[in-house]
Amino acid sequence: MIKVKKIISGSLEENCYAVYDSESLRAAIIDPGEDGKKVIFEIEKDKLKLELLINTHGHYDHVLSDDQIRFEFKIPLAMYKYEAQILAGAYGSGSGSIGFTVNVREPEILLEDNQEVKLSFTTFKVMHTPGHTKGSICLLFDGFLITGDTLFAGTIGRTDFDGGSYE
């Protein structure tokens, strides 16, 4: 059975999600955020076996601990093809506004709209949902959707950042 665990990460209280199979404990981690130590602790506490790291978009509050997670679990990063270049830039990632630059290595996997991604325990569909950023994506699993910042609680995500668009 597929389960979802939410982990609140970082000063902006970004939602990180572990999607996993309750029997095999095979898992994917989505948007680990700023607090890599906390995310690693939660993964290890639950004995999850990570296969993939996914970013729904490239803002710093979603990607800051990407390389820490990749190194710790020796897994690849997947991100939408239009969003990958945002990782190395302070302006694009939004990190310049808080006084530091985020440098995350490029993703090993570039995702496409409508792509089906097969993991050992599940399959999900990539849905390109520009608005929050030009390369924002949602991930459609069987029975649930991970939206990143395309949606906020009770409303749409912010569209006033660089690369965002209300339309």
CATH code reported for the domain at 2-112: 3.60.15.10
* Cα–Cα distance for residue pair 89/162, rounded to 1 Å: 12
According to the model, what pLDDT value does residue 91 have? 42
Quick check: pTM over 0.95? no
Q: Is the pLDDT of residue 158 over 50?
A: yes
Domain boundaries, the chain: 2-112
Helix (H) or strand (E) run with residue 157 in it: none
* Cα–Cα distance for residue pair 91/2, rounded to 1 Å: 37
Q: Is the pLDDT of residue 120 over 90?
A: yes
* Cα–Cα distance for residue pair 134/59, rounded to 1 Å: 11
In degrees to the nearest 10, what's the CA dihedral of 54, 39, 24, 55?
-10
Q: Is the pLDDT of residue 94 over 50?
A: no
More confident residue, 160 or 91: 160
According to the model, what pLDDT value does residue 155 have? 63
Q: Is the pLDDT of residue 137 over 70?
A: yes
Identify any residues that bridge with 96 across adjacent strands, giving them in sequence order.
none
According to the model, what pLDDT value does residue 102 have? 65
pLDDT per position as a tens digit, 24-38: 999 999 999 988 999
